[in-house]
Amino acid sequence: MHEFRYSKKDLLCEKLRIADLVARFQTPLYVYSYQTLIGHFLKLKDAFRQINPLVCYSVKANSNLAILKALVNKGAGLDIVSGGELFRALQAGCPPERIVYASVGKTDAEIEKAVRRKILFFNVESVAELENINRICGRLNRVSRVALRINPDVEPKTHKYITTGKLTSKFGVDFKCVQQILLLRNALPHVRIVGLHIHIGSQITDSVPFIAAIRKVIDFIGVLKKKGIVIEYLNIGGGMGITYNRETPQTAQEYARRVIPFFKKSGLKMILEPGRFIAGQAGVLVTKVLYVKQTPRKKFIIVDAGMNDLIRPSLYGAYHQILPLRATENRKADLEKVDVVGPICESGDFLAQERRLPKVKEGEYLAVMSAGAYGFSMASNYNSRLRCQEVMVVHDRVFTIRQRESLRDLTRHEIIPPFLLGK
């Protein structure tokens, strides 16, 4: 459930009319519901309360400091994938012992900063990376904890770009390689292998692939135990899907009911890395209709938000529900098939294609729903467009959590060499 709903035909975020937010902040505009964000985090935490997991929100889904701080205040850990995300996590006040660090390409500088900060552990993606962490820790006279990321070779039934658990993926290592590493772990005195990690993909709505992967790894941990190798943590990653269109994803309670028995029996400590499940339905992108364009074959609704603001439709062909800020009867006779497109000079710049929507006029506003995850975090300045403002609604109050960029921001870090200026 989320806190975006119609009341007296006006679309609200919690207790505020989104139309009033538009009048105050202009568009394009990201609007987040604090109650939805926190509600989904607590729902997940409560579902697994029997085994008291560490729920590490996936920062890449939405990395705004206010989003991170809100979750950290409620006890969340953070799942990071870069030195920049480590900086954000620390800026948001996340205790290092609640930070786990993934990514297939950690640099020496990034590793060193995380080691010095004493994060909970690294999710290690390759033998080469493990050896490098050991080398850096040796130089710093430290010992760091790590979890080995296993690629369980499970088909997650999601878009190929967000499938990460097949052997053809760049992520993780296979079971045989993990076993070889563990048997030779004494040769790496500056790392302590305390866990295993899996993450099979994103926007997965069915529990079957999750359970298949978890069962594989739990069985593998049992084999390791017989060889005298003790594993303390199992990080089952994230990837839980949400409803964008007609999906019927598993609930937190359904997922927990199937997963908890594995952990009760094994005694393993559990870590979760949800991102979309927490933030996805907590945000919408509000956009203004600039022009209505009729061509011989199509009708286009041209809006002021584009693929630089929300790239998921262009990149994945992703579906986002689009709603007017003022509700209509939605009778079939009043609906028309349109493409909702942005101002970017790319044919791939669209928010919806062949979508049946209520008739809209120039100057009206639309809300692109379920845009809280992988929305602003993937935004860019393509076409030299300003990245938009972000606001957070808490009951009947609104807070700016990112100011709209200015034209000066576009060139702030660019330098024209003196010779081009005739100097």
Helix (H) or strand (E) holding 96: none
Percent of the chain at pLDDT > 90 equals 74
Q: What share of the chain is helix, strand, coil (3-state, %, to 5)?
A: 35, 25, 40
Rounded to whole angstroms, the Cα distance separating 118 from 368 reads 40
**Where does residue 153 fall: left (phi above 0), alpha (psi -120 to 50 degrees), or beta otherwise?**
left
Are residues 88 and 68 in contact, defined by beta-carbon separation less than 8 angstroms? yes
3-state secondary structure of 301: strand
* pLDDT given for residue 21 in this prediction: 98
What residues act catalytically?
Answer: 345
- pLDDT < 70 regions, the chain: 1, 154-172, 202, 205-206, 330-333
Domain residue limits, the chain: 4-31+280-411, 34-279
Helix axes 83-91, 108-117, angle to 10 degrees: 30
> Hey, what are 143's tokens?
């010992």
Cβ partners under 8 Å of residue 92, min gap 6: 65, 68, 69, 72, 78
* pLDDT given for residue 154 in this prediction: 64
Domain at 4-31+280-411: CATH code: 2.40.37.10
CATH architecture of 34-279: Alpha-Beta Barrel (3.20)
Are residues 145 and 124 in contact, defined by beta-carbon separation less than 8 angstroms? no
Please state the pTM of the whole predicted model: 0.93
Rounded to whole angstroms, the Cα distance separating 89 from 80 reads 8
Burial class (CB in 10 A: 0-12, 13-18, 19+), 218: middle
β partners of residue 11 = 6
Position of tokens 């939805």? 36
* pLDDT given for residue 165 in this prediction: 39
Are residues 37 and 67 in contact, defined by beta-carbon separation less than 8 angstroms? yes
